[in-house]
Amino acid sequence: MGVCDAIRHNAPVGKPTAMSAPHLPKVAGIDPMVPVSTHTAAPTEGIPSAPGAFIQDRLAGWVSDLTTLHELTERLAGTSTLDSALHELLVAGAALVGAARGLLVLEPADGRGPSRTIGLGLSHAELGHIETVPRSATAYGRFLDGLPDTGAPLASPDILGDPGLDPGCREVAARLGYAASYTQPLATGAAEASGATGATGATGPDATARTTGRLGAAVWLYDEPAEPLERQCHLVGVYARYAAEHLARLLELERARADAAAVAEELLPSRLPRIPGVRLAARRRAGPGTGGDWYDALPLPDNALGLAIGSVGGSGPAALAAMGRLRAGLRAYAVMEGEDPVAVLSDLELLLRMTEPSAAATALYAYCEPDRRTIVLAGAGHTPPLVTGERRTEFVETTLSAPLGMLSCWEAPSVEFTPRPGETVLFYTDGLLRRTGDTRDRAFARLHAAAAGVPKVLRQDPGAVADHVLRTVLPADGTDRSGATEDVAVLAARFD
């Protein structure tokens, strides 16, 4: 049963019209049209029909409502991000109350954010017009500000004809072409009003509406003067209570991800060093799991430069802690043994086995001499760098090696190559390939094509080269085609 059919109003069966004198049922050998007696009973008025049809109609309506709520809550439960849940809530509520347009304002009462305003059938400019109305003049604004007696839904069935509304509300309504609205608060822990609540939001004398967890409010707009039926108000109220709990869970999850991303950013270099003969740029795209992808660049004696990039397996706080320890250890080893990348990674392997015995990580370290344009590098299970310029785009051949933490003793020979003037060397983590959703070979081919297709005007800037590669390689929504997301780190070095 579709949503449109499910939310159709089931009007109760009315009282039957007056019935004539009762007739006998048709029985074999007896003609029921022939009266049994010459004295017929007088016509009876007001005798109700059998209650079966009315009960069946009511039961059908309840089943329809339950089916509708089940479908909508299942779709909402399938959303895994805050933005998708907000959009689903707005669309489902519009179907329940019979509106075509609306807006939803997310503004948690604790002030920790995030705060968002999304629209349904409204452009950004139209949302801006609505936001010009003073908050105190709108039902959702008064609720979000925590004013008393604002926890119940409120209908404005005739905005243009209601002299009690703020003139700004009528002006914006006339400009955008809507004539009525219905506002539904979104809050966790909200109590049902103990008094009867009608479509206009009036409550009984002992009604209460505790909104200890105000999250936001949804407003649906009607093109003509109208208000939802009491049954529709009840359905959208039940749905909104479930939606608020789901939003609260997604809100906490997004806050945790934001906190982890902030910690990860603090563990990375705040700025890249400036070394004559080379220009650096770095980009990082954090996934929802906040993994352990990292990069580093540090100046070394004799105008040398150490470049590193790596990834720690797993996600969450443990991966962030391991990332921080590995990066700090590599910086120390690079200062002591910077000219020998193999020694640096061997020391890093020992550190990983001592501090993270159950973890695995990939890493690549390069010792660069910009004045000579030479790079000596070694990798531990990491993807090979990509050098790109006007005359060539190719992967640097590196020796095969296992990730750190996989073998009892790590060691692999280093390789040396010389970038040409004007070429950019791209170091990247494995997440860049995995986010494409392609096979390994196709992902490498896609990366190669993206680097080779960098416009000539952008090749002077390593940051522009990195941005072009990310835009070209990654899908537009930032996720791979399977729905999973991973961290991505890119370090670009352009040699003059």
What are 93-107's pLDDT values in tens digits?
999 999 999 999 999
The answer, yes or no, to whether residue 21 has pLDDT greater than 60, is: no
Torsion of CA 16, 21, 26, 32, to 10 degrees: -150
- Looking at the predicted structure, is the pLDDT value of residue 462 above 90? yes
Q: Are residues 336 and 381 in the same domain?
A: yes
Domain boundary among 261, 284, 302: 261
Distance CA 464, CA 193 (A): 58
Question: DSSP alpha helices (H): ranges in 109-229?
Answer: 124-131, 139-144, 167-176
What is the pLDDT at residue 45? 56
Q: Which range has the worst mean pLDDT, 121-125, 236-240, 409-413? A: 409-413
Residue 124 lies inside a defined structural domain of this protein: yes
> Burial letters for 57-92: b for 16+ Cβ neighbours within 10 Å, e otherwise?
eeeebeebbeebbeebbeebeebeebeebbbbbbbb
pLDDT at 49 (0 to 100): 54
Judge whether residue 471 has pLDDT over 60.
yes
* Whole-number pLDDT of residue 286: 77
* Residues 365 and 443 both lie in one domain: yes
Domain stops at, among 261, 280, 295: 261
Q: Residue 321 belongs to what domain range?
A: 268-495
Last residue of a domain, one of 240, 261, 282: 261
Residue 20 forms part of a structural domain: no
The pLDDT tens digits of the residues spanning 472-490 come to 998 765 554 445 567 899 9
> Does the residue 58 lie in any domain?
yes
Q: What is the mean pLDDT of residues 49-73?
A: 80
- Give me the mean pLDDT over the 369-385 stretch: 92
CATH number, domain containing residue 442: 3.60.40.10
Calpha distance 476→470 (Å, rounded): 10
- Distance (Å, whole) CA 48 – CA 350: 89
Residue 234 counted as domain residue: yes
Q: Is residue 18 part of a domain?
A: no
Between 34-48, 67-81, 273-287, the lowest mean confidence (pLDDT) is in 34-48
Phi, psi of 258, deg, nearest 5: -65, -40
| Domain co-membership, 244 together with 347 | no
Give the closest residue to 181 by CA, choosing from 149, 216, 228, 143: 228
The count of other CB atoms within 10 Å of the CB of residue 234 is 15
Q: Which of helix, strand or coil describes residue 154?
A: strand
Does residue 405 form part of some domain? yes
Higher pLDDT pick, 43 / 350: 350
Over residues 133-154, the mean pLDDT reads 90
* 252 and 313 within one domain: no
The string of pLDDT tens digits covering residues 187-209 is 997 444 333 334 444 443 333 33
In a domain, 7, yes or no: no
If asked whether residues 400 and 351 sit together in one domain, one would say yes
* Range with lowest mean pLDDT among 60-69, 284-293, 349-358, 454-463: 284-293
**DSSP-based three-state secondary structure for 153:** coil
Same domain assignment for residues 323 and 342 = yes
Q: How many domains does the chain have?
A: 2
Predicted local confidence at residue 304, as pLDDT: 94
Same domain? For 342 and 423 the reply is yes
Write the DSSP string, 257-292: HHHHHHHHHHHS-SS---BTTEEEEEEEE--TT-EE
Residues 137-154, mean pLDDT to the nearest whole number = 89
Domain identity same for 320 and 453: yes
**What percent of the chain is modeled with pLDDT above 90?**
54
CB-count exposure of residue 132 (10 Å: 0-12, 13-18, 19+): exposed
The Cα angle at residue 255 between residues 249 and 256, in degrees rounded to 5 = 90
- Per residue in 269-328, pLDDT (tens digit) is 889 999 999 999 999 887 766 668 899 999 999 899 999 999 988 777 778 888 888 899
pLDDT, mean over the chain: 82
Percent of the chain at pLDDT > 70 equals: 81
253 lies in the same domain as 279: no
Q: Is 423 among the domain residues? A: yes
- The CATH number covering residue 78 comes to 3.30.450.40
409 and 309 assigned to the same domain: yes
Strand partners, 280: 493
**Based on the domain organization, do 257 and 276 belong to the same domain?**
no
**Tens of pLDDT, residues 316-372:** 777 888 888 889 999 999 998 878 999 999 888 888 888 877 778 899 999 999 999
CA angle 82, 85, 88 (to 5 degrees): 150
Contact 370, 303 (CB under 8 A): yes
143 and 257 belong to one structural domain: yes
